[in-house]
Amino acid sequence: MSTNELPQIKIAVVGYGSQGRAHAMNLRESGFDVVVGLRAGGPTEVKAQADGFTVKSPAEAVKDADLVAVLTPDMVQKKLYNEVLAPNMKQGACLLFAHGLNVHFGMIEPRADLDVVLVAPKGPGALVRREYEIGRGVPCIYAVHQDKSGKAEQLALAYAAGLGGARANIIKTTFKEETETDLFGEQAVLCGGASALVQAGFETLVEAGYQPEIAYYEVLHELKLIVDLFYEGGITRMLEFISETAQYGDFVSGPRVIDASVKARMKDVLTDIQNGTFTRNWEAEYEAGLPNYRKFQQADMDHPIEKVGKELRAKMVWLQAQNA
């Protein structure tokens, strides 16, 4: 799908965080007419203006848009849709999300006249932008929830292509599949699982009398090397590049740590996601002012591995150069 097939489409990008900025800039450079919708005086208004975008209030931005991309945090989307988008979007427009949580779990019930689609790049906003700039792209998945016009899929594909997704890979999914697998991946493996595994490994070594600095290098710092190999060629490539001793340890000790009981608890996590328990709890936590969220966040930041890591990273000059 080429964006040239829809040259007149007007897009309103609502939200200008990591994904919002990347989407807006890539789409503009792909030939779309893009306006950014932000509340006046917000922290990202100046940034969007500095990037050369026309910035309007969300209500004004969506009025004549053919496609409205909702790229704000999940928990503000319900109020945003009900109070701003639904009353102001024109008849027959397309409503686009980058994550299906609000639609899949019924917190947002889109107007019947709208096309409703999902386009989710498989990478953070900085990567989506960087890959586009160098002539490549990040793979995208897309889904159609509501096809009033008969062209919803065409719109989703054109949007994905505008992000650079067609340069890599575009895969069709459903709102249900994207939402549930995304939440599971974050919780069981990528964020929750990985950070808990690293913390437990660090604690095990330190409690056994080893230096915290050595423990940090072994269970956190070197994790990047393994993840990079996974990313480049899966488990097969990782096995090709580690020693025979490391391979043997992988084979005999991996299943002792991540055993059938862990998989059973992963299934429990997935069940809570599928039946809406996680989303209901998260919505209630957000509405209560995030008391537990902040407590959990602070506990992670106060973990001893963070203090040790901060001191060690200060001596890693290559990291300072990357973050400059």
Residue type, 17: G
The answer to whether 83 is annotated as binding is: no
| 172 beta partners | 142
Say what the alpha-carbon torsion angle 251, 183, 175, 141 is, to the nearest 10 degrees.
-60
φ, ψ (nearest 5 deg) of residue 242: -100, 165
Point out the catalytic residue in the list 99, 104, 145, 221: 99
Residue type, 150: G
Q: What is the C-alpha to C-alpha distance for residues 94 and 116, in angstroms, rounded to an integer?
A: 6
The answer to whether 16 is annotated as binding is: yes
The answer to whether 30 is annotated as binding is: no
Whether residue 140 contacts residue 163, with contact meaning beta carbons closer than 8 Å, is answered with yes
The answer to whether 17 is annotated as binding is: yes
Residue 234: both structure tokens together: 């899966």
Query: Using CB atoms within 10 A of its CB, is residue 260 exposed (0-12), middle (13-18) or buried (19+)?
Result: exposed
The answer to whether 113 is annotated as binding is: no
Q: How many CB atoms lie within 10 A of CB 120?
A: 23
pLDDT tens per residue, range 220-258:
999 999 999 999 999 999 999 999 999 999 999 999 999
The answer to whether 60 is annotated as binding is: no
Instruction: List the Cα angle 193/274/269 in 5-degree steps.
Output: 25
DSSP 77-100: HHHHIIIIIHHHSPTT-EEEESS-
pLDDT at residue 202, rounded to an integer: 98
Strands 115-121 and 140-146: antiparallel
Whether residue 170 contacts residue 157, with contact meaning beta carbons closer than 8 Å, is answered with yes
Write out residues in the chain with pLDDT < 70, as ranges.
1-7, 321-324
Helix (H, G, I), strand (E, B) or coil at 14: strand
For this structure, is 104 an active site residue? no
pLDDT at residue 318, rounded to an integer: 85
Residue ranges of the chain that CATH labels 3.40.50.720: 10-174
DSSP 106: T
Closest CA to 180 of 71, 75, 279, 281: 279
Evaluate if pTM is beyond 0.75. yes
Residue 86: both structure tokens together: 């639904």
Closest CA to 60 of 26, 14, 92, 102: 14
The answer to whether 283 is annotated as binding is: no
Strands 140-146 and 94-97: unpaired
Residue with structure tokens 């989307």? 77
Q: What is the C-alpha to C-alpha distance for residues 304 and 292, in angstroms, rounded to an integer?
A: 20
Question: Could you give the C-alpha distances from 182 to 6, 121, 209, 317, in angstroms and in order?
Answer: 30, 12, 38, 34
Closest CA to 69 of 17, 122, 139, 133: 17
Please give the CATH number for the structural domain made up of 10-174: 3.40.50.720
Whether residue 99 contacts residue 180, with contact meaning beta carbons closer than 8 Å, is answered with no
Closest CA to 97 of 182, 40, 29: 182
